Chains A and B, each alone.
Chain A
């Protein structure tokens, strides 16, 4: 049986929270001896009220931009004391793509030996679902009531350009793929970046029971690619191999129609999103491992 002790029952998260699913899968992948650095976000709140804590791992709650520097110090301290502990930075998409990006980039440049895990729910969900750099084109949020005009910031590709040893993307809808990637990241020395898509029922406006279904649909419609970048080449996961050809992709409308945040998107907006997905996969196929 896999270990799932990183999350205790009775968290303060909303029903159907995908970040809790991701947290349980993290412990299935890494087991014991993990230290978490939790950057401000939903995950700081889901831990509940003192004196109890819902996370079973030793976790340090810290401000947005201070996560990667704190983790840099932490892994060095563990190394100095000869303890084999995996340090994981647990950050939301706002803490990764907008506010904490400078220190993330700095830690990647220094090639610090820890895992940076970004749980991407595509908005600042903790403070009410405002637009972040990771929000896709056409999505409604309280700060973009007519739909966001720009495209999603592609953090995995930015991290690939930092030339770090390991970059991977995952989705909570495909647990085995996610667990395998985190396990592989643990074996590599240097800066590891894992980006996991976590569809949030209350920000994306769908029924909480369909969290896993939407996470699977995002991959099947090729909106979210599953790949890993290692040794200078991209390797596409088996779940995403059908996306390399345009004819075999599932129609994007299956993914958009299930969510309330895309209810104002028009035909032109869907075309723009499809063009974005085409360009994304062209970019992936240029660096593909054959």
Chain B
């Protein structure tokens, strides 16, 4: 594999091609699961594909979430709040 890579500029799909992008974050989305209605609006608009809907409830992959806050903005029931990373 090493040998092939040296001669052909070919890449393979994989998570974390830009590094552990979770370290870029300074606010984190926190989901209030009691309020979440599972409408998937946050999943639809997440630019980083870090939101997973499991059994109708939302889970965030904090390893790669960059903390942009689009999910909190599009949530129709305001179930997602952005909290400071140092708290």
**A complexed with B:** yes
Provide the bound-state CA to CA distance between A55 and B25, in Å: 22
Residues of A within 8 A of B13 (CB): 8, 52-56
With A9-B49, A10-B21 already in contact, the answer to whether A211 and B15 are too (CB < 8 A) is no
Q: Point out the residue from A11, A53, A211 that lies within 8 Å of B70, measured CB to CB.
A: A211
Contact mask for chain B residues 6-20; partner A; CB cutoff 8 A; 1 contact, 0 none: 000101111111111
Q: Point out the residue from B61, B63, B67, B74 that lies within 8 Å of A15, measured CB to CB.
A: B67
Residues of A within 8 A of B64 (CB): 9-10
B12 touches A52 (CB 8 A): yes
A83 → B minimal CB distance (Å): 19
Q: Is A49 an interface residue (CB 8 A)?
A: yes
Residues of B within 8 A of A286 (CB): none
A70 → B minimal CB distance (Å): 16
Q: Is A233 an interface residue (CB 8 A)?
A: no
Name the residue of chain A whose CB is nearest to the CB of B5: A51
Q: Is A260 an interface residue (CB 8 A)?
A: no
Residues of B within 8 A of A175 (CB): 44-45
Residues of B within 8 A of A8 (CB): 13-17, 49
A10 touches B19 (CB 8 A): yes
Interface residues in B23-66 by Cβ distance below 8 A to A read 24-25, 43-50, 53, 61, 63-64, 66
With A8-B13, A9-B48, A13-B47 already in contact, the answer to whether A54 and B18 are too (CB < 8 A) is yes
Interface of B is mostly: loop
Number of A-B contacts (CB under 8 A): 121
Name the residue of chain B whose CB is nearest to the CB of A18: B47
With A16-B70, A18-B47, A213-B73 already in contact, the answer to whether A10 and B15 are too (CB < 8 A) is yes
Provide the bound-state CA to CA distance between A11 and B16, in Å: 6
How many interface residues does A have (CB within 8 Å)?
38
B69 touches A48 (CB 8 A): no
B53 → A minimal CB distance (Å): 8
Residues of B within 8 A of A207 (CB): 69
Q: Is A71 an interface residue (CB 8 A)?
A: no
Residues of A within 8 A of B63 (CB): 9-10
B37 → A minimal CB distance (Å): 17
Residues of B within 8 A of A51 (CB): 5, 11-12
Residues of B within 8 A of A287 (CB): none
A20 touches B48 (CB 8 A): yes
Q: Is A208 an interface residue (CB 8 A)?
A: yes
Extra contacts, 9 of them, besides A10-B15, A18-B47, A20-B47 (Cβ < 8 A), are: A9-B16, A10-B17, A52-B15, A53-B17, A211-B45, A211-B47, A211-B68, A211-B70, A212-B70
**Which 9 pairs between the two chains have the least Cβ-Cβ distance?**
A48-B17, A209-B69, A12-B18, A16-B68, A10-B16, A15-B68, A9-B64, A53-B11, A52-B14
